[in-house]
């Protein structure tokens, strides 16, 4: 491996998309050839298509591929589908798309929809079933041809001249019946596969499934955009004028890049590190392997490829989201999007009408993430349950009294605010800094404070200590309870 094979570990753990391939891999898959404008205008009568329904690339051909082209197609992840007589890739990637553009000149739209392709599979599986049923009937017929000449209950006559023939007939009968049962089982398998192919196509087109798919694509898009933003920030840092060795080491400590530095390309003398294996840019700078200018060149080149690579993924996700949203709207959308929902309304989930207690929206948006409702009948360990919009199958508007009751039930009581004996002090900022898993509140009755009234007493968890808090505008006072005997402390929400 040479120093040109820069690895950016930022893209492998946090990006949510496949990592950026090495330069050699991109060249092997036609990435650089396409970007430089060298495209083959269709070899061997090849044509390529892409289907946004299943996110798959397909390669059709009219003549046999040569060995070199076949190896490139195979190494790119394409599989041969003999029944359809084409090569198919399990998902779209930039490298696969570039390879198809190089071979075919362009990528067209897939003519067959997912349902049509499922119907073809079901028809093909139906033929397999018919063939196996025919095999089962033939095996049974061969058995009946033997048994029709043998009286019912006739035993094998040991020592008789017919014994040898009778044992052969018994063996053939057993083998024939086994084959008949086996072929019948296989026929039932293909029958189920045919039904499953159609069921899967309908499942993929379901509004709820499509909504969850959109949410997954949006998450992938955010990860790709985050990676692009991080790389652009590092490009700005590496591009600053007057870059010194100390500044370069500081940037390299934040920039998780690594490379190999062979002595023939990066000559250095002791006491500089003579190690030629993979090392980070920070280690290379600290060990005197490279200088700040060389580190800058390597980093800018690596991040340029990262930005280009993830920009293509971001564009792909954007297009897929637009397609899925258009198909969702065309199919009527979600039930909850076409209704004016409100607290106290009832939603139909799993055949049961539940009351909406809270409407949970995305931060900084009016989009509904989920609904908190009364618990369904089979849930007995809590009083509330949460459902996504795609799970809602119906909606009923609330009556005025129901809306008021739901609003009152979803409104938290005021936090108690009174001092006490042996109370410790905590500022509100310190309270806010405590993680949500380590603090909570407990409803208390009337007359627990000098002013009386119902409210909530804040509580926080320390090391085996349950602490009761009483928040003020700037100070929270704390009273400590004796340590618990085992396990983490528990408290009511």
Q: How confident is the model at residue 88 (pLDDT cuts 50, 70, 90)?
A: very high
Written as one string, the DSSP assignment of 52-109 is: TTTTEEEEE-SSPPPHHHHHHHHHTT-EEETTTTEEEESS--HHHHHHHHHHHSSEEE
Q: Is the peptide bond before 331 cis (omega within 30 degrees of 0)?
A: no
Grade residue 299 by pLDDT with cuts at 50, 70 and 90: very high
CB neighbour burial string for 379-412, b if at least 16 within 10 angstroms, e if fewer: eeeeeebebbbbbbeebbebeeebbeebeeeeee
User: ∠428-429-435 over CA atoms, to 5°?
Assistant: 100
pLDDT tens digit sequence for 91-133 = 999 999 999 999 998 898 887 777 777 777 788 888 888 888 8
For residues 187 and 422, give the distance between their C-alpha atoms in angstroms, rounded to a whole number. Answer: 79
* Band of pLDDT at residue 442, cut at 50, 70 and 90: low
Burial of 203 (0-12, 13-18, 19+ CB in 10 A): exposed
User: Poorest-confidence range of 133-147, 149-163, 205-219?
Assistant: 149-163
Pair 94, 313: CB distance under 8 Å: yes
Rounded CA-CA distance 344/402 in Å is 5
- Contact by Cβ (8 Å): 480, 425: no
pLDDT digits (tens, 9 = 90+) for 16-46: 444 454 443 443 343 333 333 333 444 568 8
Among 29-38, 135-144, 279-288, 434-443, where is mean pLDDT lowest?
A: 29-38
Model confidence at 268: pLDDT above 90 = no
Contact 161, 138 (CB under 8 A): no
Q: Are 8 and 256 in contact (CB under 8 A)?
A: yes
Name the nearest CA neighbour of 10 among 281, 376, 388: 281
The residues pairing with 455 across neighbouring beta strands, listed in sequence order, are: 444
Q: Where are the domains of the chain?
A: 116-204, 210-330, 338-410, 424-480
Sign of CA dihedral 24, 28, 34, 39: positive
CB 355 within 8 A of CB 344: yes
pTM: 0.65
Q: What is the pLDDT of residue 332?
A: 78
State the Cα–Cα distance between residues 44 and 64, nearest whole angstrom.
7
User: What's the DSSP call for residue 334?
Assistant: -
**DSSP-assigned beta bridge partners for residue 280:** 258
**For 126, which DSSP code?**
H
Q: Would you place residue 435 in the very low, low, confident or very high pLDDT band (cuts 50, 70, 90)?
A: confident
Q: Listing from the earlier edge strand, what are the strands of the sheet with 278-280? A: 7-8, 257-260, 278-280
Q: Mean per-residue pLDDT for 428-437?
A: 79
């Amino acid at each position: 491996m040479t120093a040109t094979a820069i690895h950016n570990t930022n893209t492998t753990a946090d990006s949510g998309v496949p990592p950026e391939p090495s330069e050699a891999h991109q060249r092997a898959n036609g990435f650089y050839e396409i970007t430089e404008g060298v495209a083959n205008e269709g070899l061997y009568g090849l044509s390529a298509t892409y289907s946004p329904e299943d996110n798959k690339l397909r390669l059709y051909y009219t003549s046999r591929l040569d060995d070199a082209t076949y190896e490139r197609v195979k190494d790119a992840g394409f599989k041969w589908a003999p029944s359809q007589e084409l090569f198919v890739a399990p998902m779209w990637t930039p490298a696969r798309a570039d390879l198809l553009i190089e071979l075919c000149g362009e990528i067209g739209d897939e003519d067959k929809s997912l349902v049509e392709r499922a119907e073809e599979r079901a028809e093909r599986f139906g033929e397999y079933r018919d063939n196996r049923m025919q095999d089962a009937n033939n095996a049974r017929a061969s058995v009946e041809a033997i048994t029709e000449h043998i009286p019912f209950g006739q035993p094998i006559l040991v020592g008789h001249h017919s014994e040898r023939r009778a044992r052969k007939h018994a063996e053939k009968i057993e083998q024939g019946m086994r084959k008949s049962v086996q072929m019948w089982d296989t026929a039932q398998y293909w029958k189920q596969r045919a039904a499953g192919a159609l069921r899967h196509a309908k499942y993929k087109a379901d509004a709820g499934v499509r909504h969850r798919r959109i949410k997954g694509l949006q998450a992938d898009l955010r990860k790709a955009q985050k990676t692009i933003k991080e790389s652009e920030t590092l490009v700005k840092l590496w591009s600053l004028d007057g870059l010194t060795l100390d500044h370069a080491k500081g940037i390299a400590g934040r920039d998780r890049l690594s490379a190999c530095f062979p002595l023939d390309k990066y000559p250095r003398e002791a006491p500089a590190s003579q190690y030629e294996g993979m090392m980070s840019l920070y280690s290379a700078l600290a060990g005197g392997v490279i200088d700040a200018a060389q580190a800058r060149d390597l980093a800018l080149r690596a991040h340029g490829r990262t930005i280009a690579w993830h920009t293509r993924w971001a564009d792909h996700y954007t297009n897929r989201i637009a397609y899925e949203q258009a198909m969702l709207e065309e199919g009527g959308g979600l039930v909850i999007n076409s209704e004016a929902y409100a607290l106290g309304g009832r939603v139909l989930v799993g055949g049961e009408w539940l009351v909406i207690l809270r409407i949970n929206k995305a931060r900084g948006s009016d989009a509904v993430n989920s609904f908190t409702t009364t618990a369904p009948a089979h849930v007995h360990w809590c009083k509330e349950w949460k459902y996504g919009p795609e799970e809602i199958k119906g909606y009923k508007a609330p009556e005025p009294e129901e809306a008021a009751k739901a609003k009152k039930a979803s409104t938290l009581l005021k936090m108690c605010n009174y001092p006490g004996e042996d109370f410790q002090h905590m500022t509100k900022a310190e309270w806010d800094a405590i993680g949500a898993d380590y603090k909570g509140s407990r409803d208390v009755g009337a007359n627990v404070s000098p002013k009386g009234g119902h409210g909530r007493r804040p509580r926080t968890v320390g090391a085996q200590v349950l602490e009761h808090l009483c928040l003020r505008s700037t100070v929270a006072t704390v009273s400590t309870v004796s340590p618990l005997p085992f396990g983490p402390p528990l408290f009511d929400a």
